Amino acid sequence: MVRRAQIILKAHKGFNNRTIAQTLSINRETVQRWRQRWHDSSDVLCLDQPESAKCPPLKQRILSILHDHPRPGTPPTFEAQQVVRIVALACEPPEQSERPITEWTPKELADEAIKRNIVERISARSVERFLKRSQSSTPS
């Protein structure tokens, strides 16, 4: 959401797509898509109308434009907050959870996440994917 707002603000200041993309370290197509979406949504903003039941507060109108459209396919099984809690759990020493191990395994993390009611159920493979993703996004 923040990145999308940055695109719109930089575009409003007169920056071109390539400059915005380089500045924000994203691809130019993303900049083009969000600039176009903002442009196409000018009627949703209804800036010439006062706030009313027909025209909600400006912040709400802006957020509705910047929000993701529903995507096809199966909805995510786990919320971002659950993934973050599982990754944080992996940073704790297993002894703190009274586990008789010195290092977490995906299976042990999955069991502990269920025990702590972070999730109802989860596979060791899902835990492993979350951990790999969190490592690849960590700056070196």
The whole-angstrom separation of Cα 21 and Cα 102 is 44
Q: Whole-model pTM? A: 0.49
pLDDT tens for residues 28-86? Answer: 999 999 999 888 887 767 666 666 656 677 777 788 888 877 778 888 889 999 999 99
Domain ranges for the chain, please list them.
2-66, 80-132
